[in-house]
Amino acid sequence: MPNWGGGNKCGACGRTVYHAEEVQCDGRSFHRCCFLCMVCRKNLDSTTVAIHDAEVYCKSCYGKKYGPKGYGYGQGAGTLNMDRGERLGIKPESTPSPHRPTTNPNPSKFAQKFGGTEKCSRCGDSVYAAEKVIGAGKPWHKNCFRCAKCGKSLESTTLTEKEGEIYCKGCYAKNFGPKGFGYG
């Protein structure tokens, strides 16, 4: 019997995927907005996706997590030498002394240019001017500037903030809005 009520289930969120919003990959369906790298949450397409078991990654994160290890590897497109892959569950072989950020409120021009960068409020990595978005008074990578609940991309007009985290207006209303008869 045909499924008249909708489409396939999304491989990321499990909700119904209708044809107009569907992306298919490896025999599975995804909402366009759910077709994101498991690690960095970048939008994926057929040219940037890498699949491991049932998980989807961008090629950069896939290479860091599953690519060859050793000198000369893991430094391909989009990978910084300093990124040892801890967010991916990769344990560094040796632990260098931790970098302590400066507490000087007026860093020198040298420090501003070579290491005094702001940190993204979502992932904690350095945010450079070309990729920076300010929301809720804090810096974010453009790709990290997403709702903490549903992962939807945000803009200054669709953003709501609670306790330092950012949400789309729908998730904010569902989770923090008034409760009771006549509400949500």
The CATH number that domain 8-71+81-86 falls under is: 2.10.110.10
Domain ranges of the chain: 8-71+81-86, 132-176
Q: Which residue has the higher pLDDT, 91 or 21?
A: 21
Instruction: Give the pLDDT confidence of 91-140 residue by residue, as tens digits.
Output: 544 444 444 444 444 444 444 444 557 888 888 888 888 888 888 888 88
Instruction: Give the pLDDT confidence of 68-98 residue by residue, as tens digits.
Output: 766 555 444 444 444 555 555 555 444 444 4
For 15, other C-beta atoms within 10 Å of its C-beta total 11
| pLDDT score recorded for residue 98 | 47
Domain 132-176 has CATH 2.10.110.10: yes
- CA contacts within 13 A on the Cβ side of 52: 13
Element (H, E) at 140: strand 138-141
Q: Do domains 8-71+81-86 and 132-176 have the same CATH topology?
A: yes
Closest CA to 123 of 146, 140, 105: 140
Burial class of residue 28 (count of CB atoms within 10 Å of its CB; 0-12, 13-18, 19+): middle
Give CA–CA dist 49/36, Å, rounded: 9
Provide the whole-model pTM: 0.38
Instruction: Give the pLDDT confidence of 36-46 residue by residue, as tens digits.
Output: 998 999 988 88
